[in-house]
């Protein structure tokens, strides 16, 4: 702070030296107070004498606080011609600042005078005053805390006096002790002290704003003495003294020589060098003995020890802790339990190769350090070397006779050996485990579980190591579980992710063991090496069908759990959907026509996900030709429509083109309104079939036969029994038969009488139940076909049936007296349109 004020003054002096000669001694600044409390107001005035050559009626004084212009409160000319300007700063918030009085000189602002302003706080009361008598420097050293910063130069003084009472009266003054700048401690020399007389001591703090003193401290210098720490040593072995017990340390120390005449008490603390254990403190030790045996420590463990001392039975201060002494406790024989496991291999009928494994389990916290292991033959095997192995490893390989079933295992150190552990090679004959299974808890652990067999084993041996394709002799980790009721255990040692492990569990029984069960597992499987390749199968205007071929499962790769398809349009809008692992195709719907889309497929497993190849596709435009599926659909629909139309046309043609058939009555043309050429049907070759001839084997084939249902009908009024007109019409007309080919033109006979309408008739004689075939009767009657009183028959009245009085048809027997001849009527015109539709009514026809 003082340095900063000196710099400001030097800067002001330099500015004054640089002023023009005409401005020297022109101005002067006066302050109401050079130092004020921080935040208080301060007033300053600047006076410019009339001797200043630049002073005129328009001169104006300008104030600056550091580099900031400050407005002056008032400015006036005094009667003696001097110019006076006054300024008041309401709050001085800077601990140090430079105030300048300036006057305009040409185009610049010239500084006439400067003053340094200081602000701060009065000194706080010093506190926590304490004193120690240091016998090394033979002085009384006191220290205190000065309090908060005052921003001002503050002087501290350690004041004291001698007193015979309780420091209420002063006898002799002791010179003040002034510490160095910035320090808060001071030492009073021995020559100013009375070691066993009371002293009054206090601290005074003083600066420009005030003075403060600390509370008085009344003490006797020897009551506040602080001794130097002792020096620790280890006690060496001695023939007269037995060696220390395991877990014990022997040490000695030497006190500080200037304090040999002072009764002291000491404290000892110890801490193991390894680990993060805290210090353990041992109670007060008498300093006169200068040696001590510390017990209750861990055997074969390195410790750090420290000691401090103080006046005994009198007031005083503890010394500092001595430098650490490092000692190691003696060893004890190992107290451990040995868990063992083995593998056997038959070398020859008389020798077996044994690989023995073991793990020491401490039985106590201080079970002793193990330096090595011994594998011995049992004592009953005389004549052979009892030593099989002496090793520091946790396994040993040796050979035994095939009949040997036991060895002895011991752990040892310099203090002795552990209790012997017999190792009995059990035969495999117990029940096996049930359902061995594993679950990966995290990348560095595996849970292996099983179903306990019955009876319950006494324990289990679990082995695990790298599985194939690692070498068969690779090291394995093993552990023994002594609780036979458990159904699983967590494996955390030597488990790494992405590695295949072979785990073997063997149950142990009292005198035998069960068969080993194996299982393979990963603590963490890797992600698929690559995702399936995405393909576009079909695409439309608003849809696209994608497909992919799932990758074959890989060993050590996590199986896929689902797929996720992402697609993005040209506007960077993203869409996605999740599919199960069995899917291998998907149809994107709701796409926009003639739009570009970017698609990629992500295959995910329980571990992580892998992206497949990306695909870019463009949907079809609205006017684009049909796709393959759409065209096939349209073709199928068209073919189906044509087939239906064709079936309809064929059905209509069949109904329209085939001859009309009346199931109740045959269609016989009306003779009065017909001509031979208009109603004779066309006969095809394939419709011609043979019927039995009546009288001649050369009879032309019968082309058409029509069979009418028999029906009883009474004779109408127009029917007559006159044989001359009707030639004796029969009571039952059974059929009309057309013989010959109607397509062959025939020469009709000319009528021999003057009647031009003479028509020939024929009668078909026969019975439906008669054994003989029917006969044709040709009539030469010249009676007109239609009489005056006889109406034209209806379409169903073209046949006449006659019945006997008993109601049964009578057979028609030809009469030689009738004007008829018995011969086939081959050329009778009306018989050419006669059709026969059935043969069951023809009788013997």
Find the mean pLDDT for residues 526-553.
86
Q: How confident is the model at residue 544 (pLDDT cuts 50, 70, 90)?
A: very high
Q: What is the mean pLDDT of the chain?
A: 77
Find the mean pLDDT for residues 98-115.
84
Identify the pLDDT of residue 291: 86
DSSP letter for 58, please: T
Q: Which residues neighbour 511 within 8 Å (Cβ) at sequence distance 6 or greater?
A: 426
C-beta contacts of 166-171 below 8 A and 24+ residues apart:
166/198, 166/218, 167/198, 167/199, 167/200, 167/216, 167/218, 170/200
Q: How confident is the model at residue 840 (pLDDT cuts 50, 70, 90)?
A: very low
Q: Are 842 and 735 in contact (CB under 8 A)?
A: yes
287 vs 396, higher pLDDT? 396
In order, the DSSP letters of 436-462 are: EEEEEEETTEEEEEEE--SSPPSEEEE
- What is the 3-state secondary structure of 651-677? HHHHHHHCCCCCCCCCCCCCHHHCCHH
Identify the pLDDT of residue 98: 92
Strands (E), 675-813: 761-765, 775-779
Q: Percentage of the chain surpassing pLDDT 90?
A: 33
Find the mean pLDDT for residues 601-618.
83
CATH H-level, domain 227-237+244-328: superfamily: Immunoglobulins (2.60.40.10)
| CATH 2.60.40.10 corresponds to the domain 435-522 | yes
pLDDT(816) > 50: no
Identify the pLDDT of residue 131: 93
Identify the pLDDT of residue 54: 58
pLDDT(760) > 60: no
Q: How confident is the model at residue 630 (pLDDT cuts 50, 70, 90)?
A: low
The CATH 2.60.40.10 domain(s) of the chain lie at 20-120, 127-225, 227-237+244-328, 336-424, 435-522, 534-619
Two tokens, residue 60 = 């104006």
What is the per-residue pLDDT across 648-662, written as a single tens digit (0 to 9) for each? Answer: 999 888 888 765 555
Which of 25-39, 493-507, 516-530, 816-830 has the least mean pLDDT? 816-830
> What is the fold of 336-424?
Immunoglobulin-like (2.60.40)
Q: How confident is the model at residue 612 (pLDDT cuts 50, 70, 90)?
A: confident
Identify the pLDDT of residue 66: 87
822 vs 670, higher pLDDT? 670
Rounded to the nearest 5°, which phi and psi values hold at 643?
A: -65, -45
Q: Which residues neighbour 479 within 8 Å (Cβ) at sequence distance 6 or greater?
A: 359, 461, 462, 489, 491, 493
pLDDT(664) > 90: no
| CATH 3.30.56.10 corresponds to the domain 20-120 | no
pLDDT(774) > 70: no
790 vs 555, higher pLDDT? 555
Which of 31-45, 157-171, 646-660, 825-839 has the least mean pLDDT? 825-839
Q: Are 833 and 668 in contact (CB under 8 A)?
A: yes
* Domain covering 534-619: architecture: Sandwich (2.60)
Identify the pLDDT of residue 672: 62
CA distances, 219 to each of 134, 281, 311, 316, 725 (Å): 14, 30, 16, 11, 187
pLDDT(16) > 50: no
Pick 127-225's CATH classification: 2.60.40.10, 2.60.40.1120, 2.60.120.40, 3.90.79.10: 2.60.40.10
Identify the pLDDT of residue 714: 42
Q: Which helix (H) or strand (E) holds 751?
A: none
Identify the pLDDT of residue 55: 61
Distance between CA atoms of 63 and 87, rounded to whole angstroms? Answer: 8
Distance between CA atoms of 520 and 499, rounded to whole angstroms? Answer: 10
Distance between CA atoms of 131 and 187, rounded to whole angstroms? Answer: 9
Distance between CA atoms of 124 and 356, rounded to whole angstroms? Answer: 79
Q: Of the candidates 322, 321, 335, which has an alpha carbon nearest to the alpha carbon of residue 247?
A: 335
Identify the pLDDT of residue 289: 76
End-to-end CA distance of the chain: 159
pLDDT(15) > 60: no
Identify the pLDDT of residue 17: 41
pLDDT(401) > 50: yes
pLDDT(468) > 70: yes
pLDDT(667) > 80: no
Residues β-bridged to residue 387: 376
Q: Is the peptide bond prior to 455 cis by the omega test (within 30 degrees of 0)?
A: yes
Find the mean pLDDT for residues 53-71.
77
Identify the pLDDT of residue 308: 92
Distance between CA atoms of 704 and 78, rounded to whole angstroms? Answer: 167
């Amino acid at each position: 702070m003082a340095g900063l004020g000196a710099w400001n003054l030097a800067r002001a002096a330099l500015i004054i030296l640089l002023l023009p000669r005409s401005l020297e001694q022109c101005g002067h600044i006066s302050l109401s107070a050079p130092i004020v409390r921080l935040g208080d107001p301060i007033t300053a005035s600047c006076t410019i004498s009339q001797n200043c050559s630049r002073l005129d009626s328009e001169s104006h004084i300008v104030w600056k606080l550091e580099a900031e212009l400050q407005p002056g409160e008032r400015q006036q000319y005094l009667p003696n011609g001097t110019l006076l300007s006054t300024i008041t700063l309401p709050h001085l918030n800077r601990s140090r600042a430079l105030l300048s009085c300036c006057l305009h000189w040409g185009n610049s602002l010239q500084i006439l005078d400067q003053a340094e302003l200081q602000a701060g706080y009065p000194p706080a009361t010093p506190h926590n005053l304490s004193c120690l008598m240091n016998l090394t420097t033979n002085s009384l050293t006191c220290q205190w805390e000065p309090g908060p910063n005052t921003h001002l130069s503050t002087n501290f003084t350690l004041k004291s006096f001698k007193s015979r009472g309780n420091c209420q009266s002063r006898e002799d003054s002791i010179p003040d002790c002034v510490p160095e700048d910035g320090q808060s401690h001071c030492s009073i020399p021995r020559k100013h002290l009375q070691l066993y007389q009371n002293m009054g001591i206090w601290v005074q703090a003083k600066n420009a704003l005030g003075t403060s003193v600390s509370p008085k401290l009344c003490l006797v210098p020897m009551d506040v003495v602080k001794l130097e720490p002792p020096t620790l040593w280890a006690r060496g072995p001695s023939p007269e003294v037995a060696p220390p017990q395991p877990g014990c340390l022997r040490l000695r120390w030497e006190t500080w020589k200037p304090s040999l005449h002072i009764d002291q008490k000491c404290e000892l603390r110890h801490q193991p060098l390894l680990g993060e254990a805290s210090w353990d403190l041992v109670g007060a030790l008498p300093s006169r003995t200068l040696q001590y045996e510390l017990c209750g420590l861990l055997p074969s463990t390195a410790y750090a020890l420290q000691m401090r001392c103080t006046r005994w039975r009198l007031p005083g201060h503890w010394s500092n802790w001595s430098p650490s002494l490092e000692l190691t406790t003696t060893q004890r024989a190992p107290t451990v339990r040995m868990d063992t496991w083995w593998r056997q291999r038959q070398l020859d009928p008389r020798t077996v190769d044994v690989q023995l494994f073991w793990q020491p389990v401490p039985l106590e916290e201080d079970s002793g350090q193990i330096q090595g292991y011994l594998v011995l033959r049992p004592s009953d095997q005389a004549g052979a070397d009892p030593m099989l192995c002496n090793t520091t490893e946790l396994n040993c390989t040796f050979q035994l006779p095939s009949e040997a079933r036991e060895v002895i295992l011991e752990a040892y150190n310099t203090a002795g050996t552990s209790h012997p552990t017999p190792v009995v090679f059990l035969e495999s004959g117990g029940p096996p485990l049930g359902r061995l299974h594993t679950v990966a808890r995290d990348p560095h652990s595996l849970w292996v579980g099983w179903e306990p067999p019955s009876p319950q084993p006494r324990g289990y041996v679990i082995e695990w190591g790298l599985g194939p394709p690692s070498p068969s002799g690779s090291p394995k980790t093993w552990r023994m579980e002594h609780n036979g009721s458990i159904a699983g255990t967590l494996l955390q040692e030597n488990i790494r992710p992405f590695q295949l492990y072979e785990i073997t569990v063997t149950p142990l029984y009292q005198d035998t063991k069960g068969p080993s069960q194996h299982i393979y597992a990963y603590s963490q499987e890797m992600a698929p090496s690559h995702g399936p390749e995405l393909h576009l199968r079909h695409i439309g205007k608003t849809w696209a069908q994608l497909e992919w071929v799932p990758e074959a499962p890989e060993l050590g790769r996590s199986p896929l759990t689902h797929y996720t398809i992402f697609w993005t349009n040209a506007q960077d809008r993203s869409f996605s959907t999740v599919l199960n692992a069995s899917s291998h195709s998907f149809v994107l719907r709701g796409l926009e026509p003639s739009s570009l889309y970017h698609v990629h497929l992500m295959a995910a497993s329980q571990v992580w996900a892998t992206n497949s190849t990306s695909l870019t596709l463009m949907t079809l435009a609205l006017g684009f030709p049909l796709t393959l599926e759409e065209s096939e659909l349209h073709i199928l629909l068209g073919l189906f429509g044509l087939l239906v139309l064709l079936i309809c046309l064929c059905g209509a043609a069949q109904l329209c083109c085939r001859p009309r058939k009346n199931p109740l009555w045959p269609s016989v043309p009306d003779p009065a309104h017909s001509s031979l050429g208009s109603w004779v049907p066309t006969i095809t070759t394939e419709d011609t079939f043979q019927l039995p001839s009546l009288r001649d084997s050369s009879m032309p084939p019968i082309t058409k036969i029509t069979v009418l249902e028999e029906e009883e009908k009474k004779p109408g009024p127009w029917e007559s029994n006159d044989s001359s007109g009707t030639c004796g019409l029969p009571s039952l007309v059974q059929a009309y038969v057309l013989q010959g080919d109607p397509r062959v033109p025939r020469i009709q006979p000319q009528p021999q009488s003057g009647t031009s309408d003479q028509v020939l008739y024929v009668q078909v004689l026969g019975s439906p139940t008669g054994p003989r075939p029917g006969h044709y009767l040709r009539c030469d009657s010249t009676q007109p076909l239609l009489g005056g009183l006889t109406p034209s028959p209806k379409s169903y009245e073209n046949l006449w049936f006659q019945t006997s009085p008993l109601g049964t048809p009578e057979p028609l027997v030809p009469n030689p007296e009738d004007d008829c001849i018995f011969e086939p009527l081959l050329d009778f015109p009306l018989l050419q349109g006669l059709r026969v539709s059935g043969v069951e009514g023809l009788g013997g026809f």
